[in-house]
Amino acid sequence: MALFYYDYNKYILEYINMRSIFVIFNTIFFYVFFGDCFEDKAVATATVIGLEGESETARQWGLTFIGAQKAHDAGFTGAGVRVGVFDSGIDLNHSEFAHRPFAGSADIDLSLLAGRVIPLAGDKQMHGTGVAGVIAANRNGIGMHGVAYDAIPAVTGVDLAASRFDAQMAFGFAYLGSVGAEFRNASLSIRETILPNIVDENYVEDFLPLTLFTLRQAARGSTITIWAAGNWSGKHADLPARLPYYFAELESTNLAVVALNRSGGLASYSNMCGIAAGWCLAAPGGDVEAGILIPYAGDAKAYAMQAGTSFAAPHVTGALAVVRQIFPDADLRDLRKLILKTAADLGQPGVDAVFGWGTLDLGNIVDTIAPAGRSVFASSAWSRHLAMEQMARMPFSGSLQRAASHEQVWMNGGALRAAIDASTGLPGVQAKGLALSMGVDLIEQSDLVAGFGFGYTRMQTDELGQGNSASANGYHGLGYLRWDDERWYVKSVAGVSYFHQDHTRRHISGLAGTTYSFSNPVARSKQNALGLFADVEAGRKADFRGLNTVIFARLSGAHQRFGAARESGADILGYQLDADSISTLGIGPGIRVSNRFDLGNWQVVPELELSYKRLLGSNDFSSGTALLSRNMEARTTPLGRDVFDVGAKLDFIVPDRGVTASFGYTGSFRKSAEQQKVQLGLSIQF
C-alpha cells in the first residue's frame, strides 16, 4: 500500500488561526498529564466460538432486531457506499472481509505536529475488526454478516489506549473524509474519571480543540459521525457523543447510540442518552448472556460474542450505508434525520433521556418508499380524468333527437361514484364527484346544432384504510356540434379544463410506532392542472320493430398536464411532485335503442345504451414524485384496457312549452375499476 502523507502542519496552522497559541499549549498539557483516557471499555471478554446450525442472518440477532432483512430483501445492502471506521484497525485476513475493496484503509502514525498514514498492520487490540464486521462483514454463508454487507469500509487504525487522542481523532476523521467516507463510526469513549465535575463549552473547547475543528468542518461538508454512548452505566452519553450539547452547530451531523439487550431493554452497562437525547437512538449491543456476534481478529475463521455500545453504534452506521443506497442523492443531514424520525419509540412516549428517539428501525425506513405512501397522487389524476369524461357527455346527455326550431338553453347536473380495487402494495380507492353545467345553442338549423357551455366539477378521492385523500375543483369550458339527417348523424364535444387540486396524506409510510408519529404529522400539497377533452360519436339510425335504433362508434380522449408542487407538514418525509402529464384515448362501438310514447300532454322517451371501448396507448394512471431526491413513480392499481358501459335514460318532454327534463344512469366497468353515474338535465327552448 502506498504511503499517504497528510499535511498535518497545515491543519494545525488553520486551527491556530481560530484559537490562541495558549490553547495549543493547554492541549499539549493534556497530552502529557492524561494518558490512556481514550478507550473503549469492554463489557465481556471475547470468547472464540464455533458456529453450527443457524444461517448467518439468524446468528446475528441484531439484524432481525432492527428490521435489516426487509431492506436486504428489497435489494438494499449498502452497495458502493464508503463507510469510515475509526478504530483499532482490522484483520483483513478474516474470511468476513475476503475479496472486499478496502481502498483508503490505513493505520495512523502521528508525530507532534505532523501526521501520516501507513499500511494496515492488523488489529492488535481486537476491537476494530468486530466493529467493521457489524457494519459490513461478508454475506457469504459463513459465520455472520453485516448490516450493510456490500458497503466499502475505510478503516483507520489507531491505538485506542494511547495519549494524544484529540490529535488522533482530528487526523483520523479528516483522513476518512479525504477518502470519501460519508459516515464514520467512532466506537470509543473518554473516561469520565478524568473530567472535572463541571464540564462546559470552554473546557471542551480547550480539551478537544482539534477534534472540534474537524467536526465543524464536517458539519459544513456533511459527514455524519456516529458515536458509541459509552459503557459506564451513566445517565448521559460520553463526552464525544454529547458534543452537540455544548456546540449546537454539530447536532446536524452527529448521532449518539445507546445499547439494547436482546430483550429490548437498556443494557446494564450502557450509558443513557441523557442530555444527548435529541440526537440519540438505541441499537442492539447485547449483554453478557447474549452478545453480538463479531469476527475475531487473529483467526480467519473465528468469531466471538461481545457486548458494548461499541457494537450498537455500528448497527446505526451500517443502517446509514443502507439508507444512503436507498436515497443516493439526499443531503446527509436529511438521512440523519430520517434515522431518528423512523426509530421505533421506546421507554417513555416521545424523545426521552434513556433511549432518545427509540430503536433503530430499518424496516420503517424501507416503508418510506412503499408505493402506498404516494399512490394518492396518481389516484387524484384518475379522478380528474373522470371529471373531464363526465363533462364531455353533458351537452347531449346521450340524446340524439332535439327540436331545431328555436334556440335552446340547457342545464345538466350529475353525480358519480367510482372505485379502484386494492392490489398488492396499493390501497383501494373511492372517488365521488358532483358536476354542474349549462350552455346555449348558437346555431339551430334543421340538420345542424352548435353551441358552447361551461361547467364546474368537485371531485373527492379517498384511499381506503389509509386516511389519505385528495379534492379537486374543476372549471370547464366546452363547445359542441351535432349534424344529422334521416339516416346518419355525427355529434362531438371538445373542451378545456382547469383544476385546483389539494392532497392530504395522514398516513405517512415509515412512521409506524415512532416518536415522530405522536405529533400526528399531516402532509399537504396544492397542485394545478390543465386538461383537454374530446368526444366524437358517429352512427347510423334505423327502425327495428318499432324501436329507434342507432349503431354507433365513439372516439374519446382526455389529456391533463399538472405542475410541480412540494408537500408541507411532514418535514423530510414530504414528497416533491413532478410536473407531468397523462393522456387516455379510447375507441369502440355501441348500440342505443329508444322509443317515444305519449303520456297525457307529455312525451316520454325511454332509452337504453350498451357500448364497449378499448383504451389505446398508455393506460396507467401514474405521476412522477421524489422523496429525499429519490425519483419514484406514484401509480394506481393497473386498470385494464377493456371498458364496458351500460346506460339508461328517461326523457320527459312538454312539446308546447319547449321543455325537456331527463334522468339518466351510466355504469362503466373494467378489470379493476368501476364507475356509476346519475345525471339530471333540463333544456328550455325560446
CB 276 within 8 A of CB 245: yes
Of 40, 72, 87, 361, the active-site residue reads 87
Cβ–Cβ under 8 Å, residues 596 and 335? no
- Residue-wise over 116-144: b if at least 16 C-beta within 10 A, else e? bbeebebbebbbbbbbbbbbbbbbeeebb
240 half-sphere exposure, CB direction, 13 A CA radius: 27
Catalytic residue among 40, 94, 123, 127: 127
User: Residue 457 belongs to what H/E stretch?
Assistant: strand 448-463
Cell numbers standing for residue 486:
334521416
CA atoms of 163 and 156, how far apart (whole Å): 17
87 is catalytic: yes
Contacts of 67 (CB under 8 A, 6+ apart): 361, 362, 363, 364, 366
The grid coordinates of residue 301 equal 475463521
Q: 3-state DSSP helix/strand/coil percent for the chain, to nearest 5?
A: 25, 40, 35
Task: Provide CB contacts within 8 A for 29, sequence distance 6+.
Answer: none
Distance CA 636, CA 426 (A): 7
Pairing of strands 673-685, 659-670: antiparallel
* d(C-alpha 639, C-alpha 669), whole Å: 10
Task: State the DSSP H helix or E strand holding residue 607, giving kind and residue range, or none if neither.
Answer: strand 602-616
Whether 145 is catalytic is: no
Catalytic annotation, pick one of 88, 187, 189, 310: 310
Which residue carries 471506521 as its cell?
85
Q: Which residues are catalytic?
A: 87, 127, 310
